[in-house]
Amino acid sequence: MDSSSNSTSLIHLLASAAAAIVVLSASAIFFYRRLLKNSTTTNLFSSYRRNRLPLGNLGWPFLGETLDFISCAYSDRPETFMDKRRLLYGKVFKSHIFGSPTIVSTDAEVSRSILQSDAKTFVPSYPRSLTELMGKSSILLINGSLQRRIHGLIGAFLKSPHLKAQITSDMQKYIQQSMIKWTEDRPVYIQHETKQIAFQVLVKALISLDIGDDMEFLKKQFQEFIAGLMSFPINLPGTTLYRSLQAKKRMVKLIHKIIQTKRSSNMDGSMSFPEDVVDVLLKDANPQLTNDLICDNIIDLMIPGEDSVPVLITLAVKYLSDCPAALRQLTEENLRLKRLKEKLGEPLCWSDYLLSLPFTQDVITETLRMGNIIIGVMRKAMKDVEIKGVFIPKGWCVFTYFRSIHLDDNLYDSPYQFFPWRWQKEKDTSGNGGNFTPFGGGQRLCPGLDLARLEALIFLHHFVTHFRWVAEEDSIINFPTVRLRRRMPVWVKRRRDDDVSIISTNNSNKNPMSSMVVTGSIYDYRLDTTGQSTGQNGNKRIYS
């Protein structure tokens, strides 16, 4: 599915996509002009209101500070844009990005209040071109009681033990099908493999579609569809946006057919147990849950399967490849669980992954903190608001930028170092404190968070217990979506029992595993109680 690393896209959270599109788009100028004509705009700039705004700079006419934002976003440190302004104006400042005057929050408490607010105060805000592609009734765009209802229904189903069991069994099956094809004479592209696996797993959970012709058709259409999300917003035959909308129409047709078949077979209300998200939404009595609404949401829900979850897993493999101490401890933990289950003659179930791999969980948490797959979320103020002394005028956008908070050295020691041990002390991974919000918060807290973690745990378990690997040099691209430049190529060797991966960076095109002497064993490596390494290949570079 991932034929090119450039083809990845993010609709799931559109904050970064918004920047790319708006800067390229003539619609930004159109929007700006409209804004200036709008009577509320006059209000926005009345001197009383202007004086109450946070400090900051609105930049150039039309473009605002978007170019500076984009040039930082393409670098290794996208947060430099924020860092410069934090020094000048404080943690909350005004700017003009994404085609709108915007209050940027890099303050954990202010961001937390914004996320916790309801739709009377803040609503999601995305550029028009993206909202057209998502469809009017997408959960990402609707507000109020309907959003809460759909969120609740989807969230409860995604958290249910029934679905976790199904995801675990599907994930194990698809991982096995993928890994069986891995050979030692060519690299495996982790980002590509995980995209295939996670998409199939999610589509099965959404519409009960198994691997086959329809799944292949859907994958192909979906690829074409998401390409449009990062395209120039001109809808004429031959343009990317046009092709994207055509692909969406073909997906809609297939999904409508599935929904209709399910609806007809449930006319008598005989459906006892929902097997997938469509069943869950069909079972609800709310008349607003029409076929069109269900269809729009099913398509949106495919996006994390194609983008966020695979990126989470790929980043974890990348960080582990660069941190032998963490890899050793994680491998040891997973081998221990594998052997225990083998001894008991039991298969691994979802609760084994979620409850018996605490260090692997910490690795995933640390990956979410450092990776910032979703850099932040955009909201629009529905009325004048004051939070912690910060005035946000009605009609202005607010950008809660998670990345600066997750990499703030007042909140995290050595924030640029991958150090999963920090989570052994810091157990607030809920996001309630506002310091750690990779899944957002409040009424729009990601309903798929448990699922994302479970999929990552299962993949890492099977990867480290079946293979040793050597990672090729690769780097993280942060914009417009987070991904690995080369899709994370690794050279693998099937594991014998008891050995442990020694990682190095390989620049040749021969499998480096073939000439590698494995010098470590899982038992020659220890961490003391503070997490400091005492082994020779330890995490000294983390604490040096």
301 binds ligand HEM (CB under 6 A): yes
134 binds ligand HEM (CB under 6 A): no
Q: Mention every residue, 6+ apart, whose C-beta is less than 8 A from residue 437.
A: 111, 112, 115, 400, 402, 405, 431
Other C-beta atoms closer than 10 Å to the C-beta of 147 total 20
- Separation between Cα atoms, residue 261 and residue 470, nearest integer Å: 48
Query: Cα 359 from chain centroid?
Result: 21
Q: Is 135 in the site for ligand HEM (CB under 6 A)?
A: no
Distance, in Å, from the CA atom of 313 to the CA atom of 455, rounded to the nearest integer, reads: 8
Residues 452-481 binding ligand HEM (CB under 6 A) are 452
Q: Which is nearer to ligand HEM, 147 or 231 (CB)?
A: 147
Of 247, 451, 477, 513, which lies in the binding site for ligand HEM, with binding defined by CB under 6 A? 451
* Cα 137 from Cα 206, distance rounded (Å): 17
Nearest residue by C-beta to ligand HEM?
448
The answer to whether 22 and 28 have CB atoms below 8 angstroms apart is: yes
Cβ-based nearer residue to ligand HEM, 54 or 376: 376
Q: Which is nearer to ligand HEM, 368 or 390 (CB)?
A: 368
What minimum distance in Å lies between the beta carbon of 140 and ligand HEM? 5
Q: Which is nearer to ligand HEM, 130 or 503 (CB)?
A: 130
Q: Is-cis flag, bond preceding 101, omega within 30?
A: no
Q: Which of residues 6-45 bind ligand HEM (CB under 6 A)?
A: 12-13
Which value, in Å, is the radius of gyration of the alpha carbons in the chain?
24
Sheet with 376-381: strands ordered across: 92-97, 100-105, 397-401, 376-381, 122-124
Give the count of residues interacting with ligand HEM (CB under 6 A): 27
Compute the distance between CA of residue 1 and CA of residue 237 in angstroms, rounded to an integer: 24
Among 420, 448, 480, 538, contact with ligand HEM (rule: CB under 6 A): 448
Residues linked to residue 492 through DSSP beta bridges, in sequence order: 469
Q: Is position 304 an interface residue for ligand HEM (rule: CB under 6 A)?
A: yes
Q: What whole-number distance in Å separates Cα of residue 140 and Cα of residue 133?
A: 12
Instruction: Output 248 or 444, the one with its CB closest to ligand HEM.
Output: 444
Stretch near ligand HEM under the rule CB under 6 A, chosen from 90-98, 340-348, 381-389, 440-448: 440-448
The residue (of 111 and 223) whose beta carbon lies closer to ligand HEM is: 111
For ligand HEM, which is the closer residue by CB, 57 or 443?
A: 443
93 touches ligand HEM (CB under 6 A)? no
Binding mask 305-344 for ligand HEM (x = CB under 6 A): ---xx--x--------------------------------
Pick from 20, 53, 202, 513 the residue near ligand HEM by CB under 6 A: 202
The binding track of 157-196 with respect to ligand HEM, each residue x by CB under 6 A or -, is: -x--------------------------------------
* 250: enclosing H helix or E strand: helix 240-265
Check if the beta carbon of residue 486 is closer than 8 Å to that of residue 508: no
Nearest approach, Cβ of 490 to ligand HEM (angstroms)? 20
- Residue 444 engages ligand HEM in binding (rule: CB under 6 A): yes
Nearer to ligand HEM, 171 or 337 (CB): 171
Helices in 288-357 by DSSP H: which ranges?
Answer: 291-306, 308-321, 324-344, 350-355
374 lies in the site for ligand HEM, by CB under 6 A: yes
H or E segment to which residue 462 belongs:
helix 449-466
Selected binder of ligand HEM within 438, 489, 512, 538 (CB under 6 A): 438
Distance of alpha carbon 453 from alpha carbon 447, whole angstroms: 12
**Which residues, 6 or more positions from 424, have their beta carbon under 8 angstroms from its beta carbon?**
362, 531
Whether residue 199 contacts residue 219, with contact meaning beta carbons closer than 8 Å, is answered with yes
Q: Annotate each residue in 497-526 with x if it binds ligand HEM (CB under 6 A) or - if it does not, as one string.
A: ------------------------------
Q: Please give the angle made by the CA atoms of 140, 445 and 225, to the nearest 5 degrees.
A: 35
Which among 95-103, 243-251, 372-380, 464-472 is the span making contact with ligand HEM, rule CB under 6 A? 372-380
The site for ligand HEM (CB under 6 A) is made up of 12-13, 124, 139-140, 147, 151, 154, 158, 202, 301, 304, 308-309, 312, 373-374, 377, 438-440, 444, 446-448, 451-452
